[in-house]
């Protein structure tokens, strides 16, 4: 589209064209935490919160969100994920729920945003299910742990 | 539906029925941070990142996400938000983008999740726009700052 | 828009305009069944199916679907549901899961379609979670049980 | 949120807060055209196009799009439309399909974008249904014809 | 993600990872019925129902629903369907509309849920279009008729 | 599904089955205009409109819409776009914003509708951002400029 002079190069946004890259196996693993009061964590573990089963609900919300990452994050590509795996662990020391999400696809671009979106929406869902009893929760430490596939090389957080 | 014996009370989830509560003015303010390398923050501030205008894109993603909170967070009600306001500040000391989102509605239930969702998706979008140059970003400190309206009383984070 | 002659009256579709009706409290209750082999029902009850917790997943899918009925059923209005309640019972005699969904709203139109959609999508989700072990399931008997509010009068299935 | 200095006032976007405006009856009427070859128009009128019933499909697509305007147009509010009315007329002189869409709501803000979105998506759907036989179609003349309700006064296109 | 101890194995849900399966041609055919009063069926056949063309509307709703099955059924994969075919027949003996939907894809997993979702949402749409004149309809007999492709072998309902 | 007699051939709609076509590189380029008053165009160029940065918002809306074309246009296939490129130019002579959108995919079917949808929703977004100061805008001249790939041969508008 070279015949059009860019109106405003500084303001432009670009969805990267990945059409010339080969499709390869991609994997991304992300994590995050929802910090809460020890009493809240206890209610969650005992499955006694008023809205019901927190972790199954968060798991499903995270999977659904991973599958619609392209609608949430404007410049992400639509990817047919082959797998989305989410796990939760109770971290009594930090008084937090630890969330890990792993996404896989065979595609021309990576799935970091899918894994991070799964963690974020799972965390928000935990927040929602617990907020009637705790207004001081905090979602923290959402980051990429690992990424494989693609020509920029593998990545492992230190 | 009392004639049905609950199959599994522990596994049940419940979308709270708010039909008997009065509609009142509700407001929620949430915040969060995206930590990144100082070089990344410099590129962002100079609007020199490869995908383009980071903060406008993040702003729009956050607004759109707030409006579909009921689809992302399974047990949230559908609320016709009267306003969504998102602001970004560059925090050079922390080497982070600080995000604040405020939502308003006249409704039978509050808008905390809408404000937190706006912050989270804006943060993920910032992450996406910067990830080509920085794989060590971290989304942190997502929490509720203020909440007014509703019978449970106002809330201000300390 | 009377100045336009209808091209094709037979082919026309109409989303009814409810703007002149008063908003009143509306409730609808619907039900349905997923018939399956007794062995499948046993695995479901024991929570031993390969995809995990069937009924919580179906519950969440049903609630999410009820909230997007206006996007699935073309001529339905967008309604801000005040409550969605779904219950499951194991019916050993019929070898089926019995699903009931109740929706409430204060609105100018009823919520039958929301309740029926919740039942249908919960049933499809149960099907999906069990289909690895049973290809002969059948979704049956989806109908309206009760409807109150609105000027056409209350309805109770006989 | 006055304590935050705007990072970049020029780049800011704003979803207007309508929370302090009264809800009033709003109506908007929009129109547009899909120009096509006379042969194409003849096939459309005779219902002989390969994908089937063009105008009913376009009608439904327009209604569905009107109901999700808030997801398509980033800074639009979510509005519970009370009615969406779409009409088509064959304009043999112009060799075009003429589309009119009218939306109604009782709300704090107007429904121009909903009516224009209904026209646009109906036009795109007509294009899609006819494109196998005509690659020279053109969507034209999409504009607001009338708008009533709201404090800025009524509007009628000249 | 073996380093994380599962919090609650019984409550876990799993979206199966299909990344290691080969992509093959998959087809699924499903059916269902909407039972209604003979008078209602007569109005439907004569295209005299107040909301308009029932079967075209139901067809479109079914196709759109098949394409978003991954958003409705939490643990379904996103599949780029190559075809969705829906057919309706009037069954005067049963006083019902008979719905058949067939989906095709070249993928690592099957399309049963897409075909069943198309049938279910088409049935719900028929219900919606007829409910002004008949409150005693029933959606029944939704089941898989045929499935080919994939290593578990072909399936044909007896 | 030949055993089912078509109820109503004239009313049938068909999503074309593309499963037997080979996947090839496809590209489509579309354009359109938003005509507005010279004063409005001046405010847009100076970035002084009340809702903020018009073109970045329109760009993002267009990209997001291209990615959900299959949900907006009922009989379009779901396509994993490899690239979406949108450009804007100020046309002072016509007093209009000129929009061009290009989509690419490797697929069994073309991306004309994706490019046209990107243009249309970008145009609607420009309209929305400017409508507070100009009620006489017009969206015009939306058409296909170029299409390559696929067995029907390349197309270039004259």
Q: Is B25 annotated as a binding residue?
A: no
CA-angle at F96, arms to F93 and F101, nearest 5°: 120
Short-list C113, C19, C71, CA closest to D83: C19
CB A107 within 8 A of CB A26: yes
What backbone torsions phi and psi does residue E77 show, to the nearest 5 degrees? -80, 160
Structural Rg of chain D based on CA atoms:
18
Measured between CA atoms, the residue of chain A closest to residue F60 is: A74
Cα(A61)–Cα(A122) distance, integer angstroms: 6
Q: Which CATH fold topology does F26-149 show?
A: Alpha-Beta Plaits (3.30.70)
Cα(F154)–Cα(F81) distance, integer angstroms: 19
Short-list B149, B108, B84, CA closest to D19: B84
Looking at residue E11, what is its pLDDT?
56
Looking at residue E150, what is its pLDDT?
84
Name, of B6-15, C136-145, E11-20, F14-23, the range with top average pLDDT. C136-145
Residues of F whose CB is below 8 A from E25: 19
Is F8 a residue whose pLDDT tops 70? no
Give, to the nearest 10 degrees, the angle between helix D54-67 and helix E54-67: 60
Tokens of D119: 């026209």
CA atoms within 13 A on the CB side of A17: 14
Q: Is C128 a catalytic residue?
A: yes
Counting one residue from chain A and one from chain E, the pairs whose CB atoms sit within 8 A come to 66
Short-list A91, A141, C57, CA closest to E4: A91
Cα(D31)–Cα(D146) distance, integer angstroms: 10
Cα(A135)–Cα(B48) distance, integer angstroms: 38
Is D150 a residue whose pLDDT tops 90? no
Q: What is the average pLDDT across F37-63? A: 95
Tokens of A150: 């693609």
Contact C52 A57 (CB under 8 A): no
Cα–Cα distances (Å) from D9 to A51, B87, B89, F40, F43, in that order, read 41, 10, 11, 19, 15
Q: Which of D70, D85, D91, D128 is catalytic?
A: D128
pLDDT in tens, C87-104: 999 999 999 999 999 999
Cα(A98)–Cα(A119) distance, integer angstroms: 10
Is C26 a residue whose pLDDT tops 50? yes
Indicate the SS3 state at residue C93. Answer: coil
3-class SS letters over F29-41: EEEEEEECCHHHH
Q: Quick one: CA dihedral C66, C71, C74, C80, positive or negative?
A: positive
Q: Which of F85, F91, F128, F134 is catalytic?
A: F128
Indicate the SS3 state at residue C82. Answer: coil
> Please, which pLDDT band fits residue A4 given cuts at 50, 70 and 90?
very low
Cα(F30)–Cα(F99) distance, integer angstroms: 8
Looking at residue D11, what is its pLDDT?
56
Short-list D63, B24, A47, C136, CA closest to E112: C136
> Please, which pLDDT band fits residue C150 given cuts at 50, 70 and 90?
confident
Tokens of D143: 């504009």
Mutate to test the interface with C, among D80, D85, D98 (most CBs of C within 10 A): D80
Looking at residue A27, what is its pLDDT?
97
DSSP secondary structure letter of residue B82: S
| Torsion region of A88: left, alpha or beta (phi above 0 gives left; psi -120 to 50 gives alpha) | beta
Counting one residue from chain A and one from chain F, the pairs whose CB atoms sit within 8 A come to 66
> Please, which pLDDT band fits residue A3 given cuts at 50, 70 and 90?
very low
Between the two ends of chain D, the Cα-to-Cα distance in Å is: 42
Contact E4 A102 (CB under 8 A): no
- Whether the full predicted model's pTM is greater than 0.90, yes or no, is yes
Non-local CB neighbours of D82 within 8 Å, separated by 6+ positions: C17, C18, C19, C77, C108, D104, D105, D106
Q: Is E75 annotated as a binding residue?
A: yes
User: Which residues of chain F form beta strands (DSSP E)?
Assistant: 24-35, 83-91, 96-107, 138-148, 155-156
Q: What is the average pLDDT score of chain E? A: 92
Is C72 a residue whose pLDDT tops 70? yes
pLDDT in tens, F84-114: 999 999 999 999 999 999 999 999 999 999 9
> Please, which pLDDT band fits residue E29 given cuts at 50, 70 and 90?
very high
Cα(F150)–Cα(F21) distance, integer angstroms: 9
CB E147 within 8 A of CB E21: no
Tokens of E106: 């070249």
> Please, which pLDDT band fits residue E4 given cuts at 50, 70 and 90?
very low
Mutate to test the interface with D, among F128, F144, F150 (most CBs of D within 10 A): F128
Contact E80 F75 (CB under 8 A): no
Residue A82 β-bridge partners:
none
Mutate to test the interface with C, among E36, E121, E123, E150 (most CBs of C within 10 A): E121
What backbone torsions phi and psi does residue E140 show, to the nearest 5 degrees? -145, 160
Cα–Cα distances (Å) from A75 to A111, B61, F63, in that order, read 13, 10, 7
Q: Quick one: CA dihedral E85, E91, E94, E95, positive or negative?
A: positive
Measured between CA atoms, the residue of chain D closest to residue B97 is: D7
Short-list E121, E18, E129, CA closest to E73: E121
Is A5 a residue whose pLDDT tops 80? no
- Tell me, rounded to whole angstroms, the distance of Cα F17 from its chain centroid: 23
Is A57 a residue whose pLDDT tops 80? yes
Q: Is E79 annotated as a binding residue?
A: no
State the catalytic residues of A.
Answer: 128
Q: What is the average pLDDT across A28-46? A: 97
Looking at residue C4, what is its pLDDT?
36
Cα–Cα distances (Å) from E158 to E91, E113, E151, in that order, read 21, 19, 20
Is C132 a residue whose pLDDT tops 60? yes
Cα(F53)–Cα(F101) distance, integer angstroms: 19
Q: Which of E128, E134, E140, E154 is catalytic?
A: E128
Contact A137 B121 (CB under 8 A): no
Compute how many other C-beta atoms are within 10 angstroms of the C-beta atom of residue E101: 30
Alpha helices in chain A (DSSP H): 38-45, 54-67, 69-72, 112-130
Looking at residue A151, what is its pLDDT?
81
Which one is predicted more confidently, C152 or E66? E66
Question: Whose structure tokens read 């049956």?
Answer: C140
Cα(F17)–Cα(B116) distance, integer angstroms: 42
Contact E74 C57 (CB under 8 A): yes
As a dihedral over the C-alpha atoms of residue F54, residue F57, residue F63, residue F68, rounded to 10 degrees, the angle is -120
Question: Nearest CA of chain E to the CA of D18: how many Å?
Answer: 31
Looking at residue B11, what is its pLDDT?
56
Residues of E whose CB is below 8 A from F12: 56, 59
Domains of chain C, residue spans: 26-149
Question: Nearest CA of chain A to the CA of C50: how many Å?
Answer: 14
Contact C55 B19 (CB under 8 A): no
Contact A15 F56 (CB under 8 A): no
Looking at residue C5, what is its pLDDT?
37
Tokens of A4: 């059009």
Cα(A119)–Cα(A99) distance, integer angstroms: 6
Question: Whose structure tokens read 């209808």?
Answer: C6
CB B74 within 8 A of CB A61: yes
Cα(E66)–Cα(E59) distance, integer angstroms: 11
CB A74 within 8 A of CB B51: no
Q: Quick one: CA dihedral A123, A128, A134, A137, positive or negative?
A: positive
- Report the DSSP pairing between strands E96-107 and F24-35: unpaired
Q: What is the average pLDDT across C58-81? A: 97
A interface with C, Cβ–Cβ < 8 A, is 52-53, 56-57, 60-61, 64
Cα–Cα distances (Å) from D49 to A138, D120, E61, in that order, read 57, 21, 20
Q: Quick one: CA dihedral D8, D10, D15, D19, positive or negative?
A: positive
Is F58 a residue whose pLDDT tops 50? yes
CB A15 within 8 A of CB B50: no
Contact C72 E65 (CB under 8 A): yes
Short-list A82, A79, A83, CA closest to A69: A79
> Please, which pLDDT band fits residue A153 given cuts at 50, 70 and 90?
confident
Q: Is D77 annotated as a binding residue?
A: yes
Non-local CB neighbours of C9 within 8 Å, separated by 6+ positions: none
Tokens of B97: 């983008």
- Report the DSSP pairing between strands E24-35 and E96-107: antiparallel
Cα(E120)–Cα(C122) distance, integer angstroms: 11
Contact D87 C4 (CB under 8 A): yes
Residues of F whose CB is below 8 A from E104: 17, 19
Encode chain B (158 residues) as per-residue pLDDT tens digits: 433 334 444 458 999 899 999 999 999 999 999 999 999 999 999 989 989 999 999 999 999 999 999 999 999 999 999 999 999 999 999 999 999 999 999 999 999 999 999 999 999 999 999 999 999 999 999 999 999 998 878 999 97
Give, to the nearest 10 degrees, the angle between helix C54-67 and helix A54-67: 60
What backbone torsions phi and psi does residue B114 show, to the nearest 5 degrees? -65, -45
Between the two ends of chain A, the Cα-to-Cα distance in Å is: 42
Is C127 a residue whose pLDDT tops 90? yes
Of B63, B102, B105, the CB nearest to D74: B63
Looking at residue F133, what is its pLDDT?
95
Range with the poorest average pLDDT among C1-10, D94-103, F48-57: C1-10
Cα(C46)–Cα(C42) distance, integer angstroms: 6
Cα(D150)–Cα(D143) distance, integer angstroms: 19
Contact partners of A by the rule of 3+ C-beta pairs under 8 A? B, C, E, F
Q: What is the average pLDDT across D121-130? A: 98
Indicate the SS3 state at residue A17. Answer: coil
Is E135 a residue whose pLDDT tops 50? yes
Of C16, C74, C79, the CB nearest to D64: C74
Contact E53 D56 (CB under 8 A): yes
Counting one residue from chain B and one from chain F, the pairs whose CB atoms sit within 8 A come to 16
Cα(B44)–Cα(D123) distance, integer angstroms: 39
Indicate the SS3 state at residue B125. Answer: helix
| Torsion region of F78: left, alpha or beta (phi above 0 gives left; psi -120 to 50 gives alpha) | beta
Looking at residue D6, what is its pLDDT?
40
Tokens of F112: 């004309």
Looking at residue C140, what is its pLDDT?
98
């Amino acid at each position: 589209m070279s015949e059009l002079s860019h109106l405003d190069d500084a303001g432009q946004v670009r969805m990267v064209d990945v059409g010339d890259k080969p499709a390869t196996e991609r994997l991304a693993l992300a994590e995050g935490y929802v910090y809460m009061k020890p009493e809240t964590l206890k209610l969650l573990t005992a499955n006694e919160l008023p809205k019901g089963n927190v972790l199954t609900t968060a798991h499903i919300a995270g999977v659904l969100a991973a599958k619609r990452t392209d609608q949430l994050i404007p410049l992400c590509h639509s990817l047919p994920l082959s797998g989305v795996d989410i796990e939760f662990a109770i971290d009594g020391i930090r008084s937090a729920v630890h969330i890990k999400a792993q996404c896989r696809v065979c595609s021309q671009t990576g799935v970091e945003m899918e894994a991070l979106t799964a963690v974020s929406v799972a965390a928000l869902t935990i927040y929602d299910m617990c907020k009637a009893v705790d207004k001081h929760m905090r979602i923290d430490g959402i980051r990429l742990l690992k990424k494989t596939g693609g020509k920029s090389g593998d990545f492992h957080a230190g």
